[in-house]
Amino acid sequence: MQSEIYKLFLLLYTDQYRERASYQQQWLQTSMIKVSLLFLVFLGIFCLSLFILPHCRPTFYRIFKKKSTEGFQSIPYSVALFSAMLLLYYAFLKQHDAVMLISINSIGSCIESIYLIFYLIYATKTARIYTTKLVIFFNIVALGLIILVTLVFFKGHLRVSIVGWICAIFSVCVFAAPLSIIRLVIKTKSVEYMPFPLSFFLTLCAITWFLYGFSLRDFYIATPNILGFSFGITQMILYLVYRGETKALVLPDSNNKVQLEQFPNANNVQQSTVNQNQEGAMNYGVAGMISNSQVVPSELNV
């Protein structure tokens, strides 16, 4: 009799324990889903801000007002579109856990396409031809070649890995581009071309993409953003160091060079000429995995 009571008690206790464990597991899963959704929302905000923020400055308002692109370059927008489309291809190959990559880079592709169309409307004939060549080279020839080669010669996981490596290498190259801006800031002691909000969102975006890639064990996404985070911190430190110094103004000359000239009301006059071929990387960007993805343009006429 006592044995039967003990077995009944043990059975009831086990059922209660299972129910409690099941409830705790469901609560934990629900909490993780909420945290993941919140994390993805912040990731989307940071990444989309890097697509939109650089162009919300007076650049396009100035182009619209003067009906001319003046010395502004289309390279950042072409590279940004290529980066977003390349990441879209990687996301479609990956399939699993790629919703955020697809959604952010789809929106980014649309935004950059709008910027390019707007640029082409007001560009000179020479700039329009040059921009068209850039778009054809990056988004038709280069991207088409990558898609063709990977689809024909590689299969399955190997194909995903190769495209992932291409994305990672491209991101590292783009992340290295701000070195020219950092050098320019140190040389001119001016942060005119390195706005703090841009560097701040660059850093936040790099951190968020790193955590996203690390949580999914996608090191093609996570690894390049370590470099992006480092450059973002460096830029913010430089901004704090030189924010009170003389500001510089970019003026194009007849030799297709950049003149760095001080504002009229400044105390010390500084001038510096930078050849376009040497400083071509000043129009720098962050890939969508920074970037992401996303490419951050500078307004330098280079």
Q: With left for phi above 0 and alpha for psi between -120 and 50, is residue 156 left, alpha or beta?
A: left
Higher-confidence residue: 92 or 188? 92
Q: With left for phi above 0 and alpha for psi between -120 and 50, is residue 95 left, alpha or beta?
A: left
Distance CA(123)–CA(72), nearest Å, equals 9
Distance CA(46)–CA(229), nearest Å, equals 13
Predicted confidence at residue 275, as pLDDT, reads 34
Distance CA(201)–CA(136), nearest Å, equals 30
> Could you read off the pLDDT of 73-115 as tens digits, one per residue?
777 778 888 988 999 999 999 877 788 788 888 888 888 888 8
Q: Which residue has the tokens 């160091």?
A: 241
292: helix, strand or coil: strand
Predicted confidence at residue 200, as pLDDT, reads 79
Higher-confidence residue: 128 or 274? 128
Predicted confidence at residue 272, as pLDDT, reads 35
Q: Which residue has the tokens 């999914």?
A: 216
Distance CA(290)–CA(192), nearest Å, equals 23
Pick from 247, 250, 253, 274: nearest CA to 188:
247
Range with lowest mean pLDDT among 43-47, 88-92, 179-183, 240-244: 43-47
CB 273 within 8 A of CB 248: no
> Could you read off the pLDDT of 2-48 as tens digits, one per residue?
565 555 555 555 555 455 545 555 544 555 455 555 555 555 555 55
Predicted confidence at residue 24, as pLDDT, reads 53
Higher-confidence residue: 174 or 188? 188
Instruction: State the angle between helix axes of 99-122 and 2-52 in degrees (0 to 180), rounded to the nearest 10.
Output: 10
Range with lowest mean pLDDT among 31-45, 93-107, 161-175, 283-297: 283-297
Residues in CB range of 137: below 8 A, 6 or more apart:
none
**Confidence class for position 230, pLDDT limits 50, 70, 90:** confident
Most confident stretch, 112-116, 282-286, 294-298: 112-116
> Could you read off the pLDDT of 105-157 as tens digits, one per residue?
888 888 888 888 888 888 888 888 998 998 999 889 999 999 999 999 998 88
**Confidence class for position 224, pLDDT limits 50, 70, 90:** confident
Higher-confidence residue: 268 or 50? 50
CB 262 within 8 A of CB 248: yes
Predicted confidence at residue 105, as pLDDT, reads 84
Higher-confidence residue: 125 or 50? 125
Predicted confidence at residue 289, as pLDDT, reads 41
Predicted confidence at residue 302, as pLDDT, reads 35
Contacts from 155-160 at CB under 8 Å and sequence distance 24+? 159/93, 160/90, 160/93, 160/94
Distance CA(299)–CA(296), nearest Å, equals 10
Predicted confidence at residue 278, as pLDDT, reads 33
Pick from 131, 140, 138, 136: nearest CA to 72:
131
Predicted confidence at residue 227, as pLDDT, reads 85
Average pLDDT score, the chain: 69
